[in-house]
Structure 1
Amino acid sequence: MFCYQCEETINGTGCTNGGACGKKEDVAVLQDKLIYALKGYAFCNMKAREKNVDDKTFGPFVMEALFATLTNVNFDEDYFKKSIADTIARRDAVCHKVCGNAGCSAALSGASKKMADAATISLDQLMAKNPADVSVLATENVDVRSLRETLVYGLKGLAAYGIHACILGSENEEIYKFIEKALVSTFDDTLSVDQMVGLLLECGSNGVTVMAMLDAANTGAYGNPAPTAVKTGVGKNPGILISGHDLKDLEMLLEQTKGTGVDVYTHGEMLPAHAYPAFQKYTNLVGNYGNAWWQQKDEFEKFNGPILMTTNCLVPPKESYANRLFTTNMVGFSDKKTGLKLKNIPVKDGKKDFSEIIALAKKCPAPTPLEDGTVTTGFAHNATLSVADKVIDAVKGGQIKKFVVMAGCDGRHKERVYYTEFAQALPKDTVILTAGCAKYRYNKLDLGDIGGIPRVLDAGQCNDCYSLVVIALELAKAFGLENVNDLPVVYNIAWYEQKACLVLLALLSLNVQNIVLGPVLPACVSPNVLDVLIKTFNISKNSDVDADMKRLITI
């Protein structure tokens, strides 16, 4: 195996003997083969689209499959074996529509040798195929490999956000067409570097679109988030902990736990759900338990009750709580050595039955307290822009000198204390704009406010980075600026996985300059590709708090 899609990749180069995330080699190989099969499916569907006989379920299926390969989503061999088989079957069905015979010349028109193989290979042949032939390293040119894999990682982020919007009934055929085109492009040896960079920026532009779609879907279903103080303590009732990102799952769980005596707590990226008006009517939604994803082994054990993982980020569980850890959607885990396989709650006709989880919760003791206080969330674009005049006056009056975008992902490496120390060192005339689980490094610090404006404005989940973009664009308009880079806004962003890759590409597509990225630069970005990003966008890596304070804040 070879995997370098996340920030924790071994030695900053690549995981080769199992993933740092806990992914086994067998699962890594199956994920590579699934991506390979999806490329063949995309090519055949593109040909079918030309004749208007394409698979109309292509988009949701491919998005879910791509999402499953994202870091810390699925560790289950059986899931990927089934996904590969389903992909091959769908590919052959759509190919048959083109010319009545899978693998026919009409479907293969214009295909390279590699693409022809991906478009015709049988299931048995793919499963027997040498893993090296479908791995990241199958592309020998380092720079081409870098551009192709960065694009694939952007697609994984695009799929993650897109599938959430799809679950809420929001789809965009143009997004599906781009995913199709982008997958096919990774087998096109005729593309120039400029064309491949163009595809990355196009992926980022589609990222802006899909985040806007998800924002509209979430607010359309649950209302506009409003600033909300969320309790971090615990009650005396037994509880269910819900983690991940899927708000529809939270809604169904809250409905089914009403009147049962079981409380529901959010964890990790589900914290922002408390700010949506539709969820505030549920008295059984009592608070947020714990912190960012990487602390779950300790926090899940202490929660005492069942946990529902709706999306990433799942860490291979400890035996002590594995029997009360459930998954849903594309999340999964199994371990051949121990025989452990987490139970997945399926969807049937758009609904899920959580009765087994609720029954288990009733037998469990209440959660063990971790802390007792509040944390504030809900500063999405609608809430923040509702006080735009107040913000603008504070900027013009000199009370606010800089906005610091510190969005992104958290992670377990000790170097990430940098973000806590950076937040603490910021002058009192700066405001942090954040989204994603990176906020757990500083959202519980007492940083005060500026004229009633909190110094940490939490817009929500990682996909709510869109809100930060909207806020910046609207502020630029209010100040009469044509270029968002002329705003008193600086970017010190933490990344971990592929959704953060998409957010970065989205910012670049908007020509946002001077982004500082950390705690390390993505291993998938080769030196030559990095040089292009530096020359075009002045991207740089973070260094230490004092040095970054000087170049970002006191310049």
Structure 2
Amino acid sequence: MFCSQCEQTAGGQGCYQWGSCGKSPEVDALQDLLTHCLRGLGEVAIRARHLGISTRNADVFTCETLFSTLTNVNFNPESFVNYIHQAIALREDLKTQIQLIAPPVDYSDLASFEPPTTLDGLVQQGRDIEFDFISKAAKNVDIFSLKLTIIYGIKGIAAYVYHAQELGQEDDRVYAFFHETLANLGRQDLSLDDWVSIALQVGEINLRAMELLDAGNTETYGHPIPTPVPLNAKKGKAILVSGHDLKELEELLKQTVDTGISIYTHGEMLPGFTDDGEPRQVMTGFARNAVLSVASDVIDAVKKGTIRHFFLVGGCDGAKPVRNYYSEFVEKVPNDCVVLTLACGKFRFFDKDLGDIGGIPRLMDVGQCNDAYSAIQIALALANAFKVDVNQLPLSMILSWYEQKAVAILLTLLYLGIKDIRLGPTLPAFISPNVFKLLSQKYNLQAITTPDEDLAACLG
């Protein structure tokens, strides 16, 4: 097996025998075979689209199955066996529809291969396809690096699109991008610059995906407002809910009305629970509408010098001790600075009382990882108010990453031209030294060092 898609990958290089996440070599092979099937489905879907044939089933299926290959989402071999055969069935159905209205066409091997019927056969075919893809792509390590970045990025997009679908928000352009990008991954005629451009397109499409999910969430549940959230547990039966799916949480809440069952969640990952004791709570809900509603106060505070700098400290969490960097960083932020945070990485420090600056909280929880969209809108609005480029704002981004949604968000920030991002706790194994150097030169993307060094650099 070979997998390098998450931050916990073995030795910071890749998992070759068993996934650090718990993914077996067999599941890894099946996921790679599924991705191969989706690439072939994409080739046929592109032709069907050009002929005006509906690809709705292939669109939704591609999104769902890409999502299933994210870190820690699905390790069930039977699921992937079913997905593989469904992909082939969808591919052949589209071919049949195409044949009815268009001249015969020769499809590539990618869109013509047939999977075995047995589990062992599928696993072996997945291994062979993985080896073949790596052998061809790795002739140029830097292009291979960008292809992996693109694959992992569109997996991250798929997660957001899946949740947006559930709330009635879709965009055909996003589905078309999935098909086109997957179908083109095997191309050998594109330059390094071409692949960089495609990676930035992943960022562009992810911005649209986050916009769709934001619209779905806010139109269904309203805009978040600053709200105190209790951290104490109650005696009695309970269900603990982790993840990002607000629709599923809503359905669960409906089903447990008047049952005496308590639901504990915060929409991202589980917070720490305490025994019954002194009430504890945190403030959340500082999404873009809430923050921008007091934009004039924020702008005045910056102009007067009472707010010197903003830090966006957010992203994924994980088990490595080095991730303590982020809580230590927040603790050391000077009293005249404000911290915005989002995603599960915030739970290392979201309950700290940093006080306020003239009534403006010094620690503001923007929301889930997909609420990076809100953070981006806040930054763009402030830049517009100050009539400067985003990179000229007194704002520094200190990001942590773990899996593929974070890859998509990073590509979105680069697509927007945002510079000076500090990324940790380690750099992605799939980004080659030359590609990282290229990104560093263009965007000043850099690895975190120590809280003291990075604070000093950000504050000048």
TM-score by length of structure 2 reads 0.95
Where has structure 1 moved over 4 Å in runs of 4 or more?
367-372
What is the CA–CA distance in structure 2 between the aligned matches of 1:438 and 1:156, rounded to whole Å? 20
- Give the alignment of 1:271-290 within 5 angstroms: 290=271
2:23 is matched with which residue?
23
Q: Which residue of 2 aligns with 1:123?
A: 115
State the distance in 2 between where 1:38 and 1:434 align.
Answer: 35
Residue of structure 1 in register with 2:357 after alignment: 450
Equivalent AA in structure 1 for residue 335 of structure 2: K
Quick one: structure 1 residues 455 and 68, their matched pair in 2 at CA, closer, same or farther if it must change by over 3 Å?
A: same
Q: Structure 2: give runs of 5+ residues left out of the alignment.
A: none
Structure 2: which amino acid aligns with 1:149? L
The verdict on how the C-alpha distance between 1:399 and 1:132 changes in structure 2, with shifts beyond 3 A counting, is farther
C-alpha separation between the residues in 2 aligned to 1:369 and 1:147?
Answer: 50
Q: 1:133 and 2:132 equivalent?
A: no
- Give the Cα–Cα distance (whole angstroms) in 1 for the partners of residues 8 and 398 of structure 2: 19
Listed as ranges, the matches of 1:128-277 within 5 Å are 128-129=124-125, 131-135=127-131, 137-138=134-135, 139-140=137-138, 141-267=140-266, 269=268
What corresponds to 1:347 in structure 2?
A: none
Q: What is residue 516 of structure 1 aligned with on the other side?
A: 422
- Which residue does 2:60 correspond to in 1? 60
Contact 1:44 1:107 (8 Å CA) reproduced: no
Q: Does 1:526 align with 2:417?
A: no
Matching residue's letter, 2:172: E
Q: Is the 8 A contact 2:153 2:405 kept in 1?
A: yes
Q: Contact conserved, 2:210 with 2:371, CA < 8 A, in 1?
A: yes
Match for residue 424 of structure 1 among 331, 337, 349: 331
Aligned to 1:82: 82
1:394 is aligned to 2:301: yes
Aligned match of 2:412? 506
TM-superposed CA distance for 1:370, in Å, is 10
Q: For residue 195 of structure 2, what is the amino acid of its counterpart?
A: M
Q: Compute the displacement of 1:432 (Å).
A: 1.0
Q: Partners of 1:455 and 1:539 in 2: how far apart?
A: 26
Deviation at 1:194, TM superposition (A): 1.2
The offset of 1:74, in angstroms, is 0.7
Which stretch of structure 1 is more off in the superposition, 90-99 or 62-71? 90-99
How far residue 435 of structure 1 moved from its aligned partner, in angstroms, is 1.1
Report what 1:403 is aligned to. Answer: 310
- After TM superposition, give the deviation of residue 236 of structure 1 in Å: 2.3
What displacement does 1:54 show?
Answer: 4.1
SS at structure 2 position matched to 1:2? coil
Tell me what 1:342 maps to: none
Q: Give 2:456's aligned amino acid.
A: K
* Structure 2 residue 63 is the aligned partner of structure 1 residue 71: no
Determine if contact 1:403/1:433 at 8 Å carries over to the other structure: yes
Give the counterpart letter for 2:429 in structure 1: A
Residues 371 and 179 of structure 1: is their aligned pair in 2 closer, same or farther, counting only changes over 3 Å? Answer: farther
1:450 shift after superposition? 1.1
Tell me the distance in 2 between the aligned counterparts of 1:16 and 1:370: 47
Distance in 2, matches of 1:153 and 1:107, equals 29
Per-residue deviation, 1:235: 1.4
Q: Contact (CA 8 Å) 1:473, 1:484: kept in 2 or not?
A: yes
Q: Distance in 1 between matches of 2:358 and 2:106?
A: 64
Q: Distance in 2 between matches of 1:65 and 1:453?
A: 43
Task: Tell me how far 1:105 sits from its aligned partner.
Answer: 5.6
- Secondary structure in 2 matching 1:85: helix
Contact kept? 1:269, 1:437, Cα under 8 Å:
yes
- Give the C-alpha shift of residue 371 in structure 1: 8.8
Percentage identity across paired residues of the two chains: 43
Q: TM-score, normalised by structure 1?
A: 0.79
* Ranges in structure 1 where 5+ consecutive residues have no aligned partner: 109-115, 271-288, 292-298, 300-366
Letter in 1 for 2:354: L
The answer to whether the 8 A contact 2:286-2:365 is kept is: yes
- Greater helix fraction, Structure 1 or Structure 2: 2
Give 1:244 deviation, angstroms: 0.6
Deviation at 1:372, TM superposition (A): 4.9
Aligned mates of 1:455, 1:35 — CA distance in 2: 44
Q: Are the counterparts in 1 of residues 30 and 126 from structure 2 also a CA contact under 8 Å? A: no
The structure-2 alpha-carbon separation of the partners of 1:371 and 1:49, relative to structure 1 and needing over 3 Å to count, comes to farther
Deviation of 1:238 (Å): 1.2
- Of residues 523, 543, 546 in structure 1, which corresponds to 2:452? 546
Measured on the aligned residues, the alpha-carbon RMSD in Å equals 1.9
**One-letter identity of the residue aligned with 2:21:** C
Q: Aligned residue pairs: how many?
A: 452
How far 1:499 moved relative to its partner? 0.2
| 1:26-65 matches, cutoff 5 A | 26-65=26-65
- 3-state SS of paired residue (2:91): helix
Q: Which residue of 2 aligns with 1:340?
A: none
Q: Paired residue for 1:461, among 368, 379, 404?
A: 368
